[in-house]
């Protein structure tokens, strides 16, 4: 019989405690999500990235990406609830490019916000991140759908602010799709800039789990493999910030 200490969740928890982050392959992540709930609407969930609106704040700086945003409240007993739409805010300390402003993005489509796949992902995060900080009883949760587009004349920038922290406690980055792109390598650094690791989210369900106060993260620009064909990188980013 397998020792429960060696379960995939325990291995990931140990990695995050030890290193401040963990790269999770799809072969591990997808079963963990399936054990947390229902992914029966995954196809429509993934297809919703085709309906993202432009990021007007980033476009003002000459860069392009598409996104939607939603906010939830989570409690230690496992309940995760959608709350009224609100702005996304980061201080300049955490976002040198767009800090100290309230940014309003198009809200998550209601069918996606309350759909099985997203609620399953949030349930996994609530249990996983909650087990790392059991004293936290209430969480402020934000969900970001990102599509980074690239073309022959302009590389796509998944993290235009550079290597950064998000100003939260924990971050999940989950790959939804990548089409006709090269690179997009996630880099992890210590606060003093020392490289700690790198990996590329290549397959749907590949993921990164990050303890935000301990490490910085960034993603290298993406470029098209075939210059005259559409190219994009779709990710879901979920952040958990303790409120108590």
pLDDT single digits (tens) 139-167: 999 999 999 999 888 888 877 777 889 99
CATH architecture assignment, domain 28-184+221-242: Sandwich (2.60)
Residue spans of the chain under pLDDT 70: 1-6, 57-63, 88-100
- Residue 54 has what pLDDT? 87
- Residue 59 has what pLDDT? 53
Long-range contact pairs involving 50-56 (C-beta distance under 8 Å, separation at least 24): 51/109, 52/106, 52/145, 52/146, 52/147, 53/105, 53/106, 55/105
- Residue 116 has what pLDDT? 98
- Residue 62 has what pLDDT? 42
Domain residue spans in the chain?
28-184+221-242
- Residue 207 has what pLDDT? 98
């Amino acid at each position: 019989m397998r020792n429960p200490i060696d379960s995939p969740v325990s291995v990931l928890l140990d990695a995050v405690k030890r290193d401040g982050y963990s790269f999770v392959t799809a072969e591990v992540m997808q079963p963990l999500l399936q054990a947390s709930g229902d992914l029966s609407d995954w196809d429509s969930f993934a297809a919703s990235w085709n309906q993202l609106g432009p990021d007007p704040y980033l476009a003002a700086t000459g860069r392009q990406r598409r996104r939607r945003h939603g906010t939830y409240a989570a409690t230690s007993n496992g309940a995760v609830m959608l709350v009224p739409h609100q702005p996304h805010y980061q201080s300049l300390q955490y976002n040198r490019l767009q800090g100290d402003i309230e940014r309003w993005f198009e809200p998550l489509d209601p069918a996606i916000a309350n759909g099985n796949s997203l609620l399953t992902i949030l349930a996994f995060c609530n249990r996983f991140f909650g087990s790392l900080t059991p004293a936290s009883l209430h969480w402020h949760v934000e969900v970001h759908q990102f599509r980074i587009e690239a073309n022959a004349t302009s590389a796509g920038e998944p993290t235009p602010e550079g290597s950064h922290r998000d100003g939260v406690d924990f971050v999940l980055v989950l790959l939804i799709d990548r089409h006709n792109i090269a690179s997009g390598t996630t880099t992890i650094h210590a606060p003093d800039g020392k490289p700690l690791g790198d990996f590329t989210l290549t397959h749907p369900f590949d993921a990164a789990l990050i303890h935000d106060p301990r490490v910085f993260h960034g993603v290298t620009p993406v470029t098209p493999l075939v210059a005259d064909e559409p190219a994009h990188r779709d990710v879901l980013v979920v952040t958990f910030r303790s409120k108590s």
